[in-house]
Amino acid sequence: MRDHAASPGGGAEPAHRDLYFNRELSWLAFNRRVLAEAQNEGYPLLERLRFLSISGSNLDEFLMVRVAGLAGQATRQIEEVSIDGRTASQQLAAIRESVAALVAAQQVALVDLANRLAAVGIRISVSEKLSKLEAEWLREYFREHVLPVITPQAIDPAHPFPFIANQGSGIMFSLTRLADQSPMTEMVLIPPALPRFVRIPGERGLWVSIAEVICRHAGLLFPGFRMNGNGAFRVLRDSDIEIEEDAEDLVRYFRTAIQRRRRGRVIMLQLEDDFDPAAEALLRQQLRLDDALVLKMGRQVDFTGLAAIVDEPRPELKFEPYSPRYPERILEHDGDCFAAIREKDIVIHHPYESFEVVIDFLRQAAADPEVVAIKQTLYRAGKQSAVIAALIAAAEAGKSVTAVVELKARFDEEQNLLWASQLERAGVQVIYGFVDWKTHAKVSMVVRREEGGYRTYCHFGTGNYHPVTARIYTDLSFFTADPRAGRDAGQLFNFITGYVEPRQTDFLAISPVSLRRKLYDCIDAEIAMASAGEPAAIWAKLNALTDESLISKLYEASQAGVQISLVVRGICCLKPGVPGLSEGITVKSIIGRFLEHSRIWAFGNGAALPNRKARVYISSADGMGRNLDRRVEVLVPIRNRTVHDQVLDQVMLANLLDTEQSWVLAADGTYRRIDPGPKPFNLHRYFMTNPSLSGRGAALASGRKVPKLALRRGGGQ
């Protein structure tokens, strides 16, 4: 199976076309890989439906943010070109073509999955004939739960055209009034509070879309009218929030911006296949679509709603439930996180090891009378947050608590405003960071009074302090009591709260101050090794790689003879395997049960990877210009031997060895699913069944070994 990250045409400078892939088309290629999992025969059916739903929500966000930004550039005639030399208009033309093909593939996948689900007793209705009991139940459901909350509105000169909010959906009805035979057009907007699908009780497992529920009962909604036709539609609007540099009150600015986002410029109009042309023309005119993308969607205009069907209680059609382990290292210290960390550094590998460790760390800090201060960054925390509760408890216990709440976390702005308000009421010192930069670093710092003075305990994460994503994202949580880490973490917080730039750090590299330079120094060291005839290697695991300067640096390393292996889940603008440019670089992408989210860098340091003297780092930053230049991020060195072995010889190596969930990027921009071969290896299954090195404690020395991974060129274990 193949998908494409780049396509010919456009008129960009050949030099740029030859060096980089287009960022937006690479993202669309990533979403096609997500969609491909909906057709993965090795997955249970409801999990495949979940991947289809995810591909829909992914596409929504892409259109609302990335395409909206390009549309704005094109409208304002901004001359800026992409990394591959395309103007905004050229990119939009290529995106339209790619999105249309993606949506068509989503419809094909839906039909296939609907047929397969019907064979096992779960039916997704498309005007399906109902039994008498089913029809009666659905009619009563409509009367009780739908009819009271929907409002039909005539579309004529006497009625203003209704506002359709972002991600709003509705139905256009073509009617004839029986009293005088006059034609009428009516619109019914579907309130977001209504479920997207309704399950009719009974053994058939029948799910009916809310649009179909309304259309089936149009007679109750429009008595005295004859139904001529109907069609569902959906609207996506520009959802990006641009920060004004002179914003005097960031909280007030964001509260206003969140409301304004609902009314952003229309970016996409989604229509059912047989949507009435006159109704379509009316929508185009009233929504002032101009160059907005209008797509005929087939039977389903909103794939995100399919997530409701995944909740069907059919465990045999889902992944077997997985319960994360609690690290033995901490249990050996009777659950005392501080004692375990004080003994030596520890890394927790989520979701295989429980996020409860992070929560317990903060809860213990809140309850410990010897803890005097807690400092915490918060980017995304979720709607139910034990982390927030622990910070509030600490403040109420009289401790000094500082929380850096990032208001600019896209689509979490409103929730973060609520958390900030609750924290402030509890006595937490809430800081909103920089106006221009997002604080994306995941850092927790606890200062504890101990014999001889104070000791600082730090947590550095690659993922958010979010209990839901911690169950499905693979991330690393690193705990240390290294004094150098504590000093640098203190400098980091002073940078955020008081704009005191960290002049010199002993442990952390911090963007936008020193992280890029640190990476380049490490790459240059490998280039020097290769130039001297020594082994030279770089391994990296990222979510995205788009920064032109960083990519050029990796090209330089490849040309010097450095062997580079990259695992890039999503967007990758680097072209691997190009003779004379990047023949020493390989790129793979992993899409599986869990979303790969951790960021890791490893440098051979004079020997082939993996090796004990390799320089290993974890980070909150991806290989994007925004992470390196416009966000506050950290790059954290891993020096403890056991943690070093786990991150390099377990986590990183397993990603390179995976054959069951991996795609390889070719020089022409195509992705090819790896052939699992006679000895397939699934990194998610490996970590679900094998404990980590760092968290095993005394068990590590008892002789009960974790199966060792060995690098074999060409894949396999």
| Mean pLDDT within 173-184 | 94
| Residues across the chain | 717
Over the range 386-414, which residues count as b (16 or more CB within 10 Å of their CB) and which as e? bbbbbbbbbbeeebebbbbbbbbbeebbe
pLDDT score of 78 more than 90:
no
Q: What is the residue whose two structure tokens read 């076309």? A: 17
pLDDT score of 248 more than 70:
no
What's the CA gap between 236 and 256, in Å, rounded?
A: 19
Q: What pLDDT is stored for residue 289 in this prediction?
A: 86
- Residue 578 — very low, low, confident or very high, per pLDDT cuts 50/70/90? very high
Q: What pLDDT is stored for residue 411 in this prediction?
A: 66
Q: Which of 4, 349, 440, 459 is catalytic?
A: 440
Q: What pLDDT is stored for residue 291 in this prediction?
A: 67
pLDDT in tens, 594-606: 999 999 999 999 9
Q: What pLDDT is stored for residue 705 in this prediction?
A: 55
| Mean pLDDT within 63-84 | 90
Comparing CA positions, the residue from 315, 335, 318 lying closest to residue 327 is 335
597 marked as binding residue: yes
What's the CA gap between 153 and 664, in Å, rounded?
A: 52
Q: What residues does 99 pair with on adjacent strands? A: none
Query: Between the CA of residue 686 and those of 34, 537, 651, 659, what are the distances in Å?
Result: 21, 25, 10, 12
DSSP 698-709: GGGGTT-PPPPP
What's the CA gap between 6 and 290, in Å, rounded?
A: 27
Query: Kind of pairing, strands 662-665 and 585-590?
Result: antiparallel
Q: Domain 127-298 adopts which CATH fold?
A: polyphosphate kinase like (3.30.1840)
Return the axis-axis angle of helices 548-560 and 515-531, rounded to nearest 10°.
10
pLDDT in tens, 391-403: 999 999 999 999 9
pLDDT in tens, 501-543: 998 999 999 999 999 999 999 999 999 999 999 999 999 999 9
Q: What residues does 124 pair with on adjacent strands? A: 207
Q: In CATH terms, are 328-502 and 510-701 the same topology?
A: yes
What's the CA gap between 265 and 517, in Å, rounded?
A: 39
Q: What residues does 631 pair with on adjacent strands? A: 438
What's the CA gap between 697 and 340, in Å, rounded?
A: 9
CATH architecture of 2-118: Up-down Bundle (1.20)
Q: What pLDDT is stored for residue 384 in this prediction?
A: 75
- Structural domain boundaries in the chain: 2-118, 127-298, 328-502, 510-701
What's the CA gap between 484 and 637, in Å, rounded?
A: 11
As a whole number, the mean pLDDT across the chain is 90
58 marked as binding residue: yes
141 marked as binding residue: no
What's the CA gap between 552 and 575, in Å, rounded?
A: 10
How many other CB atoms are there within 10 angstroms of residue 1's CB atom?
11
pTM: 0.92
Q: What pLDDT is stored for residue 11 in this prediction?
A: 37
The contacts of residue 491 (CB under 8 Å, 6+ apart) are 500, 502, 505, 508, 510
pLDDT score of 120 more than 70:
yes
Residue 459 annotated in active site: no
CATH architecture of 328-502: 2-Layer Sandwich (3.30)
380 marked as binding residue: yes
pLDDT score of 160 more than 60:
yes
- Whether domain 510-701 has CATH 3.30.870.10: the reply is yes
473 marked as binding residue: yes
